[in-house]
Every structure is written in structure tokens, then in C-alpha cells.
């Protein structure tokens, strides 16, 4: 099984065979290098990418189950 590329720029990849700890270690290193933030939850990894929103990697029974992308929307902006 091939790695899954997360986002459009291709620097974030996850191997679906990795357990959550191994995946987090790899993604955290890449995030810090590329200016993002990775956090580890109970059964999920959250990636905060500056220009592509947030990605949530959910794990079920120790395996990658789902990847969700959440785009941040502007809800208010001052008028010039």
C-alpha cells in the first residue's frame, strides 16, 4: 500500500500501515520543518497547515481510519 499525500503541496505523507505514534512522530517533524503544527489526541492526529486548513487523521483499532480536511472560513473582516 502506498503512502497517502495530505494536502496539495505534497510534503505531508502518511503510511496507512503505521500506528498512530509512528505516524505522529513523522508528521510532527515535517510540520515543524514546514511551519505547521501537529497535535496528538486520544485517537487522532491534527495537522494545522498555514494555507490549506486543518487535517484530522482518525485512528480506529490502531489503524488509520479516516482523513478529514477542515477549511477555515473568514467569518468577519473589517471593511477598508
Task: Give the three-state DSSP class for 27.
Answer: helix
Tens of pLDDT, residues 36-70: 899 999 999 999 877 778 899 999 998 999 999 98
Q: What is the pTM of this model?
A: 0.82
Q: Cβ(17)–Cβ(27) under 8 Å?
A: no
Residues 62 and 60: their CA atoms lie apart, in Å, by: 5
Amino acid at each position: 500500500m502506498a503512502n497517502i499525500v495530505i494536502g496539495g503541496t505534497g510534503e505531508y505523507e502518511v503510511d496507512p500501515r503505521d500506528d498512530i505514534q509512528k505516524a505522529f512522530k513523522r508528521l510532527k517533524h515535517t510540520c515543524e520543518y514546514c511551519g505547521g503544527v501537529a497535535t496528538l489526541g486520544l485517537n487522532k492526529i491534527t495537522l494545522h497547515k498555514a494555507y490549506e486548513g486543518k487535517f484530522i487523521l482518525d485512528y480506529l483499532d490502531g489503524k488509520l481510519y479516516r482523513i478529514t480536511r477542515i477549511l477555515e472560513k473568514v467569518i468577519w473582516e473589517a471593511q477598508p
